[in-house]
Chains A and B, each alone.
Chain A
Amino acid sequence: MATKLNAVDVLIVGLGWTGGIIAKELASTKLKIVALERGGPRDTNPDFVDPQIHDELRYAARHDLMQNVRRETITFRNSESQTALPMRQLGSFLPGQGVGGAGVHWNGVTWRWLEWDHQARTRTVDKYGEKIIPSDMHLQDWPITYDDLEPYYDKFEKTCGTSGKAGNINGRKIDGGNIFEGSRKDEYPNPPMIAAQSMVMFDKAARNLGYHPFPNPSSNASRDYVNPDGVAFGQCHYCGFCERFGCEANAKASPHFTVIPLAVKNPNFELRTNSIVLKVNLDSTRKKAVSVTYLDACGREFEQPADLIILSAYALGNVNLLLHSGIGVPYDPATGKGVVGRNYAYQCGGGATAFFDKETILNRFMGAGALGTTMDDFNGDNYDFVSAGYIGGGGISCSNSGARPIQSHPTPRGTPRWGSEWKKAVVDNYDHATSVGNQGAVMAYRQNYLSLDPTYTDVFGRPLMRMTFDFQDNEVRQMNGQADICVKIAKEMGAIKVDRSIPPVPYSIVPYQSTHNTGGAVFGADPSTSVLNKYLQVWDVPNVFVTGACVFPQNAGKNPTGPVGALAYWAVDAIKNQYLKDPGPLVPS
Chain B
Amino acid sequence: MSTRQKSQGDVGRRDFLKLFGAAGAAGAAASALPLGGSASADDLMAATAADTKHHHGIAATEPHAGGSGYEFFNVDESAFIEAAVDTLLPSDSTGPGAKELGVATYIDRQMAGGYGKGDRLYLEGPFGEGTPEQGYQLPMTPSELIRAGIADANAFVQKTHKSTFDGLSAKDRAEVLADLEGGKVELPTVPTATFFGLLLQLTIEGYFADPMYGGNKDRAAWKMIGFPGADAMYMDKIEPFRNRPYKAEPKGIQDLI
Contact = CB atoms under 8 A, between A and B. Distances in A.
B94 A504 contact: no
B256 A51 contact: yes
Interface residues of B, number: 101
A170 interface: no
A416 interface: yes
A87 B27 contact: no
A512 B26 contact: yes
B57 interface: no
A418 B24 CA distance: 20
B121 A89 contact: yes
Contacts of A243: 24-25
B131 interface: yes
A409 B207 CA distance: 12
Interface string A47-58: 000111011110
Nearest to B224: A427
Contact of A399 (B8, B24, B43, B87): B24
B30 A407 contact: yes
Contact of A501 (B11, B128, B213): B11
Contacts of A504: 13, 16, 133
Interface stretch (A26-34, A192-200, A377-385, A547-555): A192-200
B11 A500 contact: yes
Interface string B144-184: 00000000000000000000000000000010010001000
Given A91-B32, A360-B243, A407-B28, A510 B205 contact: no
Nearest to A199: B242
Given A420-B94, A512-B28, A406 B209 contact: yes
A402 to B, nearest CB: 5
Interface stretch (A132-140, A314-322, A362-370): A362-370
A501 B174 contact: no
A433 interface: yes
A63 B225 CA distance: 25
Interface stretch (B44-52, B64-72, B74-82): B44-52
Nearest to B204: A406
A480 interface: yes
B238 interface: yes
A426 B225 contact: yes
B253 interface: yes
A70 B227 CA distance: 34
B188 interface: no
B31 A430 contact: no
Interface string A338-354: 00000000000101110
Interface in B208-257: 208-210, 213, 221-222, 224-235, 237-239, 241-246, 251, 253, 256-257
Contacts of A349: 16, 19-20
Nearest to A404: B24
Interface stretch (A204-212, A232-240, A280-288, A298-306): A232-240
A91 B237 CA distance: 34
A69 B120 contact: yes
B242 A197 contact: yes
A416 B49 CA distance: 11
Contacts of B126: 455
B22 A416 contact: no
A410 B16 contact: no
A70 B119 contact: yes
Contact of B234 (A63, A240, A502): A240
B62 to A, nearest CB: 23
A397 to B, nearest CB: 9
Contact of A434 (B22, B115, B123, B257): B22
A76 interface: yes
Interface in A378-419: 399-411, 413, 416-419
Contacts of B17: 511
B200 interface: yes
Contact of A417 (B19, B45, B94): B45
Contact of A435 (B22, B38, B253): B22
B2 interface: yes
Contact of A236 (B43, B94, B95, B235): B235
B245 A361 contact: yes
A405 B221 contact: yes
A145 interface: no
Given A57-B205, A197-B242, A88 B123 contact: yes
B134 A85 contact: yes
Contacts of B239: 194
A82 interface: yes
A266 interface: no
A435 B20 contact: yes
Contacts of B132: 508, 510
A63 B115 CA distance: 11
B234 to A, nearest CB: 4
A421 B88 CA distance: 10
Nearest to A351: B19
A197 B238 CA distance: 8
A40 interface: no
A422 B90 CA distance: 10
Given A70-B123, A409-B225, A239 B20 contact: no
A231 interface: no
Interface string A441-474: 0000000000000011100000000000001010
A509 B181 CA distance: 22
A509 B51 CA distance: 38
A119 B132 CA distance: 37
A57 B213 contact: yes
A510 B34 CA distance: 9
A73 B224 CA distance: 39
A82 B208 CA distance: 39
A22 interface: no
Contact of B120 (A52, A63, A77, A434): A63
Contacts of A239: 232-234
B7 A479 contact: yes
A433 B24 CA distance: 11
Contact of B135 (A89, A361, A364, A411): A89
A330 B66 CA distance: 53
B89 interface: yes
A403 B11 contact: no
> Can you list the 5 inter-chain pairs with the closest CB atoms, starting with the nearest?
A419-B48, A407-B27, A512-B28, A511-B29, A410-B22
22 contacts: A55-B253, A60-B28, A88-B123, A194-B238, A197-B242, A238-B235, A239-B234, A349-B19, A399-B25, A407-B21, A419-B50, A424-B94, A430-B225, A435-B19, A437-B23, A505-B4, A507-B133, A510-B35, A510-B135, A511-B17, A512-B28, A512-B29
Given A82-B131, A512-B27, 15 more contacts: A54-B230, A61-B205, A70-B119, A351-B23, A399-B23, A401-B23, A407-B31, A409-B21, A422-B89, A437-B19, A456-B124, A480-B3, A501-B18, A505-B8, A510-B13
